[in-house]
Amino acid sequence: MQEALLYQKLDDGKVRCRLCAHYCVIARGQKGLCQVRENQDGKLYSLVYGRTISQGVDPIEKKPLYHFYPGSRTFSIATPGCNFRCDWCQNWEISQVPRPQHFMTGKELSPDDVVAAARTSACRSIAYTYTEPTIFFEYSYDTARLAREAGIANLYVSNGYMSSEMLDLFHPWLDAANIDLKAFRDATYRKYVGAGLQPVLDSLKRLSSAGVWLEVTTLVIPGINDDPKELEDIAMFIAEELGTDTPWHVSRFFPQYKMEQIPPTPPEVLQQAVEIGQKKGLKYVYMGNVGGEMNTNCPACGALLIRRSRFEVSCQVDRKGCCPGCGEHIAGVGVAGG
């Protein structure tokens, strides 16, 4: 247990958590919406500091981050809990653990231990992922600073519901992020997620402005967010607010959690999303959860530059980060090859 950062003491022993855009007001003895931050005698504590419920070595492409040191490995960690309630959560077994069971599980792993494990496993980065990393901010913050000293990059795979205060404090230590943009209708967020859309859009713009390498993922769910107009709105937002170099991953939904009655996303719907993104000027649009190769082609001449086959990656980008055929610059970090 660790005293939290980013909170404000109020009257009557209450506190206001300023970590995420919920800005929970928490009475003595109560927890915030995430269920992993508790007011104890007028002080806010993180209940999951150093408690990893999942850890392991992943290909960077699994995050998915396709334009951040392609072919490298990342050491992934998560603690229990989340500040969202997504009905389709792919990791509900660990993200929703604190709610029905009312206890915290996890293996103790200090920030020093995380960095040491990343170095031992020859990982280029540490990914705070699987559950929502914002809710274990203190843990990721301490780890990220040690990782930077060790020359290891830091990644967030997040729902994007951070507060502006959190991003102001953390972005200097954050190298890349993949943010889930789950829909482009506030009503969808309210009904299925338990949050609002605008804070996610604000976080995306702040991360982009801060120079954090950014990729966006949308899980396309039949009947929820697969309307072509909504997909067009997402693509337009990415192009106009984040830039056409920002990769957009449109992923296939499979029945999960509270949405087992929803069928998998037809592949042709994902293909339509790819075409919508390309028509809006996005240079890098990828289908996810469909199998096969998800390659990067030069947006100018179409040449195959990065081949990805079951997380085996070969890169043909030249040492200047450009297409060797036409000279087009390929966006990303660490994409330059030989």
Q: Are residues 283 and 308 in the same domain?
A: no
Whose tokens are 């170099």? That residue is: 245
Q: Up-side HSE of residue 180: CA atoms within 13 Å toward CB? A: 23
The token pair at 131 is 């559950």
Domain extent, residue 197, equals 51-291
- Please state, in angstroms and rounded to a whole number, the distance separating the CA atoms of residues 189 and 192: 6
What pLDDT score was predicted for residue 292?
84
Q: Are residues 36 and 149 in the same domain?
A: no
Q: Are residues 110 and 250 in the same domain?
A: yes
User: Domains in the chain: how many in total?
Assistant: 3
β-pair type (176-180, 213-220): parallel
Q: Up-side HSE of residue 154: CA atoms within 13 Å toward CB? A: 23
Whose tokens are 């559950």? That residue is: 131
Q: Are residues 274 and 219 in the same domain?
A: yes
Rg of the chain, C-alpha, whole Å:
20
Cβ atoms of 136 and 5 within 8 Å: the answer is no
Taking Cα atoms as reference points, which of 326, 230, 316 lies closest to residue 273?
Answer: 230
Is the bond leading into 64 cis (omega within 30 degrees of zero)?
A: yes
Give burial (CB, 10 Å; 0-12/13-18/19+) of 140: buried
Q: Which amino acid is at 301?
A: C
pLDDT tens, 231-290?
999 999 999 999 999 999 999 999 988 889 999 999 999 999 999 999 999 999 999 999
Q: What is the rounded average pLDDT for all residues in the chain?
A: 94
270, 291, 312 - which closes a domain: 291
Q: Are residues 118 and 12 in the same domain?
A: no
Contact partners, residue 34, CB within 8 Å, separation at least 6 = 20, 22, 24, 81, 82, 83, 98, 132, 135
pLDDT tens, 122-162?
999 999 999 999 999 999 999 999 999 999 999 999 999 99
Rounded to an integer, the average pLDDT of 309-324 is: 92
The token pair at 94 is 């660990």
Please give the model's pTM, rounded to 2 decimal places: 0.95
Cα-Cα-Cα-Cα dihedral sign, residues 128, 164, 224, 79 = positive
- Please state, in angstroms and rounded to a whole number, the distance separating the CA atoms of residues 312 and 249: 18
Q: Are residues 283 and 312 in the same domain?
A: no
Q: Are residues 87 and 57 in the same domain?
A: yes
Q: Are residues 166 and 307 in the same domain?
A: no
What pLDDT score was predicted for residue 104?
55
The token pair at 321 is 């980060």
Whichever domain contains 273, its CATH number is: 3.20.20.70
Q: Are residues 178 and 29 in the same domain?
A: no
Cβ atoms of 67 and 321 within 8 Å: the answer is no
- Of the pLDDT bands very low, low, confident and very high (cuts 50, 70, 90), residue 99 is low
Q: Are residues 55 and 41 in the same domain?
A: no
Q: Tally Cβ neighbours within 10 Å of residue 107.
A: 13
- Please state, in angstroms and rounded to a whole number, the distance separating the CA atoms of residues 105 and 99: 12
The token pair at 161 is 């519901």
Query: Which stretches of 53-204 are assigned E, i.e. beta strand?
Result: 54-59, 73-78, 107-108, 125-128, 153-158, 176-180
Q: Are residues 263 and 126 in the same domain?
A: yes
Q: Are residues 184 and 298 in the same domain?
A: no
